[in-house]
Homo-oligomer: A and B are copies of this chain.
């Protein structure tokens, strides 16, 4: 089986568990709003990481499903609130939650996913002390995601952001949830603190690589594949690492922060960023983060799940959307 098949095999169970653990009950419209993005076809990478980490450390898929669902709900919660804050109208090629249910509805749909995540995580069958550790990991992670989103919004108001600041932001906003997924899987699998920590680091490194590669994809992927306008980060004035590197090299980008641009202007900006080497710089850095993450898996004994976790790491920088 390919990696995609292996992930799919597990995501079928995750989707069934979502149906069971987050049913559309009264008030139905609230739960429809909460489920809308969850059901719109994410890749379920975070649940896959959690499940594989659990399987690699001695647990079974079935017993960790509520935890896998919890992590996916937190992910969707952050997307719903981020889209309100960033005024993004599209997500996965469809109208964002706040475009359908309004801002108030979307705030509440996100809040509901947030509390459901904790409610569902507490349902996992395991020793109370281990579940409590997982709760602690998840809540700390949610706090860090808020900090990361705050930094991200703050950067948009600033003239200049350093590379270190960008990496701190990405670490908090994106990578901590991969770290949490891997660590929670390991904790539920009964792993030692040392192995749980190694898996957490694996998640953190591949999460950073994932986001950096995402920034690259935003530059090079056509709208019909990405589900959003190409170069949107540039037009929105986002200080991605690509832009930071280019600015450090003295490059000028006319469409930066302009809100919109013609196809030609976008092509020109991407050409400039390619020629000055900034896109390759970030691609290479993403690869080195992925390799750092993979090295952390040395802590695990060889098993098919370890192999799949290594493949997921590589997938982060080989996907095209």
A288 within 8 A of B: no
Contact A122 B139 (CB under 8 A): yes
A270 sits at the interface (CB 8 A): no
Closest residue on chain B to residue A141 by CB atoms? B115
Name the B residues within 8 Å of A84 (CB-CB). 103-104, 107
Within 8 Å of chain B (Cβ to Cβ): is A147? yes
Assess A111 versus B108: contact at CB under 8 Å? Given A119-B136, A150-B27: no
Contacts of A132 in B (CB 8 A): 122, 128, 131-132, 135
Within 8 Å CB of A151, what residues of B? 27
Is A29 an interface position by the 8 A CB rule? Answer: yes
Which chain B positions have C-beta within 8 A of A147? 26-27, 30, 112
Cβ < 8 Å to B, chain A residues 98-127: 103-105, 107-108, 110-112, 114-116, 118-119, 122, 127
A38 to chain B, nearest CB (A): 15
Cβ-based interface call for A143 (8 A): yes
Copies of this chain, how many? 2
Q: Which residue of B lies closest to A140 (CB)?
A: B119
Is A81 an interface residue, CB under 8 A from the partner? yes
Q: B116 touching A143 by the CB < 8 A rule?
A: yes
Query: Chain B's nearest CB lies how many Å from the CB of A85?
Result: 4
**Assembled-state Cα–Cα distance A27/B169 (Å):** 11
Interface set, chain A 127-172, CB cutoff 8 A to B? 127-129, 131-132, 135-136, 138-140, 142-143, 146-147, 149-151, 153-154
A114's partner among B103, B111, B116, B127 (CB-CB below 8 A) is B111
Interface of A, secondary structure class, is: helix
Give the CA-CA distance A147 to B111 in the complex, in Å. 10
- A151-195 interface bits toward B, Cβ cutoff 8 Å, 1 = contact, 0 = none: 101100000000000000000000000000000000000000000
Cα distance A136–B115 in the bound complex, in angstroms: 10
Interface string of A240-279 (1 = CB under 8 A from B): 0000000000000000000000000000000000000000
**Contact B150–A30 (Cβ < 8 Å):** yes
Chain B residues closer than 8 Å to A85, beta-carbon distance: 103-104, 107-108
Given A128-B132, A147-B27, A147-B30, A81:B118 Cβ within 8 A: no
Task: Tell me the minimal C-beta distance from A246 to chain B in angstroms.
Answer: 25
Bound Cα distance A111, B140 (Å): 12
Interface string of A22-41 (1 = CB under 8 A from B): 00001101100000000000
The complex places the Cα of A247 from the Cα of B292 at a distance, in Å, of 68
Which 4 A-B pairs give the minimum distances between C-beta atoms? A115-B142, A85-B104, A118-B139, A119-B139
